[in-house]
Amino acid sequence: MTHAFHLDLAFPTPDHTTTFAAALAHQLTPGDVILLSGGIGAGKTHFARSVIQSRLAAHGLAEDVPSPTFTLVQTYDDTTCEIWHSDLYRLTHPDEIEELGLIDAFETAICLVEWPDRLGDLIPQSALSLEFSTGDASDDPDLRHVQISGPAENWEARIQKALP
């Protein structure tokens, strides 16, 4: 039986989100899937961009990392593996996901998936989930809450290493 790992974090500024994402980026290996949930503007793309830019920078590479909202998938190569950044918001059926090649990428690449609810039953059991939310109107507009969950054996130690 798989033991689940849960952690609630608060990032007071985008820089705090970037720092955590960059630290986690160096813990990732091919076959890792990170599911990024939350409303529009909650910080999903910022987190994914920070992971990708950190991995690229570690290999002396730099690249613009646009949101894949309209392209659905953007891929990057950090010289050790591919990184897939997908935004499934516009998809309406799981068959469309298979057409993108995302299912195969789950096995061979680092995958960052925005709007993972569109995956339905295709969500890998080993995936890490990050649920982003903003505070209410009285909160600082930069504050982001993140609920992290996933299989402990895959993720707990790596998340702990990524924490400041």
DSSP string, 54-90: HHHHHTT--------TTTSEEEEE-SSSEEEEEE-TT
DSSP structure class, residue 2: P
Q: What is the pLDDT of residues 80-132, one digit of tens each?
A: 999 999 999 999 888 888 899 999 999 999 999 999 999 999 999 999 999 99
* H or E stretch covering 98: helix 94-100
CATH number at residue 110: 3.40.50.300
The answer to the question of residue 9 being in a domain is no
The answer to the question of residue 52 being in a domain is yes
DSSP structure class, residue 159: H
pTM over 0.85: yes
* Structural domain that includes position 76: 30-136
